[in-house]
A = this chain, B = another copy of it.
Amino acid sequence: MKSPLQDSNVRKVTEKDIIHIFSEVFHFSKKPVLSGSEFDDCAAIDLNFFVSASAGSEPSADASAHSASLLFSTDTVHRKTDFPPSMSPWQIGWMSAAVNLSDIAAMGGKPVAFLAAIGLPADFSLDDTRELALGIHDCVSLFGAEVIGGDTEFHDELTITGTVIGVSGNKNIIYRKNAKPGDLLCVTGFAGSAGVALDILLNDPAFQAAGVDINSAPPSFLKNLTEPYPRVFEGLALSKTGAVTSMMDTSDGLAVSVYELAEMSNVGFIIDAEKIPTEEEAFRILSRVCPDSSSAKEVLLQKALYTGGDYELLFTISPNQLKLVEDVFEKLNAAGKSKSGLSFKSGYVSRFSVIGQAIGEKTVYLRTNLENSMQLKPLLKKGYDQFDK
């Protein structure tokens, strides 16, 4: 994941340049690496690798009968780029865990363990520290994992690097690379809400002028940005259907994520602008800021496509599996509502939308309905790249 906040530094180096260097230098060579983290949200390493390594034999992927893998991801969040000023220590802790858990969710894994390396600034009190730790703990344990260790040090800028370890049966791991032409493109939850919330929390002048600020916006709406809810239950349930051909999270923005699935799977997509799920509250807020409802709608579409901070799952399924996936979400919501079921947060509804379809042509199109016709335009490949501004 990359961070949603803006930064004024101008940089010619892009994140792709840097990832390219790391891929070259680290060249994930060994067989047990089912996927390196340059390809998917997590590195996936065959469990047998650890079994044979611990037995003192040369690590290999076929030492015993396990057909499962460990998933690993590490992500840093820090004040300057990830925490709007109003965020509480608890929210900061929650976010540092959530962004990592989302990576496990994106591969259909089950998070089991978490490590937190925490750099605390001098103005951070012990009470704040406790709240931050609680935020990490609450997020991690809600989704079934446990904090197993960490590191504490002094840092000018509040900086938290989380590392999450997940597990998955090998046949259940979902990569980015297996979408096929004809597959339906789906996304969980709503897109664009985090982007709108960010404008509010950063006191965007247009929002300020319209009287939309942190005090007037519904707190639950702002939490779309400040308390991202990793789709762990959804990812895990989807991984068991066998219906999902590719998946990743949308933390860097919907458009770049669609492009990523397209590139990794060697396909293209047509996305229907009207099917992109956006939140009513986001539209209501933008209606106050924009001159009319049609421009509010357009701005919301831009936010939905091109801003980061939504931690939704973007995935593809075979068209004949749609009913199966619908059933999965129905069951998730039933389990979330039952007292003995999943620990959904209050009022949470697990949902997904079909927003497009994979095509053989390696281009990503956005389809919009004009008055009497449809318009098909290449989607802009833009999103949040911290290095590219």
Interface residues of chain A, those whose CB is within 8 Å of chain B, are 2-3, 7, 9, 11, 13, 15, 17-19, 21-22, 24-26, 28-30, 33, 36-38, 42-43, 45, 47, 49-51, 53-56, 59, 66, 68-70, 72-76, 78, 80-81, 110, 112-113, 115-117, 119-120, 122, 125-126, 129-130, 133-134, 136-137, 146-157, 159, 161, 163, 165, 167-169, 386-387
Contacts and interface: CB of A to CB of B under 8 A. Distances in A.
A18 B128 CA distance: 11
A11 B122 contact: yes
A3 B119 CA distance: 12
Contacts of A45: 113, 148
Contacts of A24: 130
Q: Is the interface of A mostly helix, strand, loop or mixed?
A: mixed
Given A18-B120, A26-B133, A155-B159, A43 B115 contact: yes
B81 A151 contact: no
A19 to B, nearest CB: 6
B386 A154 contact: yes
Contact of A147 (B9, B26, B42): B26
A76 B161 contact: yes
14 contacts: A11-B154, A13-B125, A15-B152, A19-B152, A22-B133, A22-B150, A26-B147, A26-B150, A28-B146, A54-B168, A74-B163, A75-B151, A155-B157, A156-B157
A119 B47 contact: no
B161 A43 contact: no
Contacts of A68: 50-51, 54-55
Contact of A134 (B25, B75, B76, B167): B25
Contact of A21 (B11, B74, B129, B161): B129
A146 B30 contact: yes
Nearest to A112: B53
Nearest to A69: B54
Nearest to A78: B155
A146 to B, nearest CB: 6
Contacts of A26: 133, 136-137, 146-147, 150
